[in-house]
């Protein structure tokens, strides 16, 4: 089942010329194998997607078992299908995988706060940044958009673990003599 989340953007795209303006973001789409349901109030629309959910938006791909999207609503308040405004909140649960450029995050639960430019990962989150050759795990992580920044909030019973690229050996080799130093003289035995 394929449901475009930005219905207004999709309608505009259908009516617009074939070539899209370079700075106009693409519409967000969501595919799911199960039920999709939308409920609207006068001010917002909440849409839930079940089973094998794949959402593709502006520079992000999200896969999960369940996705809940809350967006502002505009247009005719009596319409059965409302026009979506901006995203306010997204909740993804179950086998969550988020891909943004060279960074991939996996976890059991992800909360996305578009107005705050942050994503909160819980339930065994792992973030792999192939561009930085790093991997981070911890009980709770907050990723910040546009900052290449992640904050790992530790817990007493769950350690934070960071894997970084190799560091140059700053130690010494016991078999190697430093330049300019002669070998010690043997001490006479008694």
The CATH number that applies at residue 156 is 2.60.450.10
Q: Name the pairing type of β-strands 118-122 and 103-113.
A: antiparallel
Residue 184 resides in a domain: no
Calculate the dihedral angle through the C-alpha atoms of 63, 140, 115, 3, rounding to the nearest 10 degrees: 20
Q: What is the pLDDT of residue 155?
A: 83
Whether 135 is in a domain gets the answer: yes
pLDDT of residue 112: 94
14 three-class SS: helix
| 190, part of any domain | no
Paired sense of beta strands 44-56 and 29-31, if any: antiparallel
Q: Which residues of 1-35 are buried (b: 16+ CB within 10 A; e: fewer)?
A: eebebbbebbeebeeeeeeeeeeeeebbebebeee
Is 177 part of any domain? no
pLDDT of 176 reads 67
Whether 174 is covered by a domain: the verdict is no
What pTM value is reported for the model? 0.73
pLDDT score at 85: 76
Separation between Cα atoms, residue 115 and residue 87, nearest integer Å:
8
Answer whether residue 185 is part of any domain: no
Mean pLDDT for each consecutive 10-residue tract of the chain (190 residues)? Answer: 35 36 82 94 92 94 97 75 80 96 95 94 94 92 87 87 86 68 61
Q: What is the pLDDT of residue 41?
A: 86
Q: Are 118 and 142 in contact (CB under 8 A)?
A: yes
Q: Where in 32-60 does DSSP place strands (E)?
A: 36-40, 44-56
Q: How many domains does the chain have?
A: 1
Domain that holds residue 36: 2-17+32-163
pLDDT of residue 188: 63
pLDDT of the residue at 32: 97
Greatest distance between any 2 Cα atoms in the chain: 105
Residues recorded for the chain: 190
How does strand 134-137 pair with strand 61-74? unpaired
């Amino acid at each position: 089942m394929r449901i475009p989340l930005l219905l207004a953007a999709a309608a505009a795209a259908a009516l617009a010329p074939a070539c899209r303006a370079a700075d106009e973001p693409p519409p967000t789409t969501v595919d799911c194998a199960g039920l999709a349901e939308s409920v609207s109030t006068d001010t917002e629309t909440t849409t839930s997607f079940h089973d094998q959910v794949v959402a593709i938006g502006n520079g992000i791909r999200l896969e999960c078992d369940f996705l809940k999207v809350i967006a502002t609503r505009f247009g005719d308040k009596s319409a059965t299908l409302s026009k979506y405004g901006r995203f306010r909140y997204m909740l993804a649960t179950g086998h969550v995988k988020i891909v943004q450029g060279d960074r991939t995050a996996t976890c059991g639960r992800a909360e996305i706060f578009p107005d705050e430019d942050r994503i909160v990962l819980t339930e065994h989150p792992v973030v792999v940044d192939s561009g930085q050759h790093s991997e981070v795990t911890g009980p709770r992580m907050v990723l910040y958009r546009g900052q290449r920044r992640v904050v790992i909030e530790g817990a007493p019973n769950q350690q934070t673990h960071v894997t970084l690229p190799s560091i140059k050996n700053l130690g010494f080799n016991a078999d190697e003599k430093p330049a300019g130093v002669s070998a010690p003289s043997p001490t006479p035995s008694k």
